[in-house]
Amino acid sequence: MRFEGKVVLVTGASRGIGKAVATGFGKEGAKVVVNYSKSKSKANEVVKEIEKYGGEAISIKCDISDENQVRDMIEKAVQRFSRLDILVNNAGIGFLSNFEEMKTEQWKRTFDVNMLGGFLCSKYAAKQMLKQKYGRIVNIASTDGINTYDPRSIDYAATKAAVINFTKSLAQALGPDILVNCVAPGWVATDMSKGMSKETMRRELSRQIIKRFSRPEEQANAVLFLASDDASYITGSVLVVDGGFR
């Protein structure tokens, strides 16, 4: 069990990639904080699933774009489990709209959740991690921040490029005791991607070596690797998990 005795907080763990990450850590012995913003019953199902494997978990409601809520969430997590070893900044949102019609409110909301949220969680988690002289932060970016651009998600792509840059700078700021890395997924079969038209899906898959969307668990494997002792000499890195998109 790679994460015996470790305490992990996964944001946006009620569904999709975050759920796979949280249950992955739970199966490998970690105590897990399952964060959600709206999907309470789904988050509680994730807690139950981890308990089924003999693990320990709690769910905490928190909108990661709200500083007071983030501060409270980290406090509750540390109160409950006495430490915080690993933070996975996974929660994210995306809207589709043409650039000319894109509203300022949408632009701000995308940045508030995808970028500010990761900053706030990292800031309050790092306080505890620095006291412990141990911590691992794994951010979830996207290949949209590197090389796969959709003209209808300019705001989303900009946040994900920012997450990659944030990862590299934060690794400098918090090292060497706290290691900071990110995973950049390509297409993943979750709620976020399920509205895609068949035509778009065909086009996207034609550019991949592996001709299917990834399963959330395949992204979780990369997150768990970066948080594990196997990655003890890796910081400020971006691990692309995209089925070979070109």
CB 46 within 8 A of CB 34: yes
Largest Cα separation within the chain, whole Å, is: 51
DSSP letter, residue 232: T
Q: Which residues contact 191 (CB under 8 A, 6 or more apart)?
A: 15, 16
Binding track over 92-111 against ligand NAP, x by CB under 6 A: xx------------------
Options 53, 124, 134, 156, the catalytic residue: 156
Residue from 23, 37, 59, 181 in contact with ligand NAP (CB under 6 A):
37
User: Looking at the DSSP assignment, which residues form a beta bridge with residue 180?
Assistant: 137
Should residue 10 be labelled a site residue for ligand NAP when binding is judged by CB under 6 A?
Answer: no
Binding mask 111-130 for ligand NAP (x = CB under 6 A): --x-----------------
Q: Applying CB under 6 A, does 153 fall inside the site for ligand NAP?
A: no
Centre a 10 Å sphere on the Cβ of residue 169 and count the other Cβ atoms it contains. 11
CA atoms within 13 A on the CB side of 243: 19
Handedness of CA 77, 80, 83, 85 (dihedral sign): negative
39 to 78: interface string for ligand NAP, x by CB under 6 A = x-----------------------xxx-------------
Residue 230 CA to residue 136 CA, distance in Å, equals: 12
Q: Which of 193, 208, 228, 237 binds ligand NAP (CB under 6 A)?
A: 193
CB of 93 to ligand NAP, least distance (A): 5
Q: How far is the CB of 176 from ligand NAP (least distance, A)?
A: 27
Whether 36 is catalytic is no
DSSP annotation of 7: E
Q: Which of 77, 84, 87, 91 binds ligand NAP (CB under 6 A)?
A: 91
CA 140 to chain centre: 4
Q: Give the C-alpha separation, 216 to 132, whole Å.
A: 31
Number of residues engaging ligand NAP in binding (CB under 6 A): 29
Which of 25-33, 90-98, 123-131, 147-155 is the region at the interface with ligand NAP (rule: CB under 6 A)? 90-98
- Lookup: tokens for 144: 């949209």
Query: Please, how many CA atoms are within 13 Å of residue 14, restricted to the half-sphere of its CB?
Result: 19
187 makes contact with ligand NAP (CB under 6 A)? yes
- Binding site residues, ligand NAP, CB under 6 A: 11-12, 14-18, 35-39, 63-65, 90-93, 113, 140, 142, 185, 187-188, 190-193
Which residues are catalytic, by number? Answer: 156
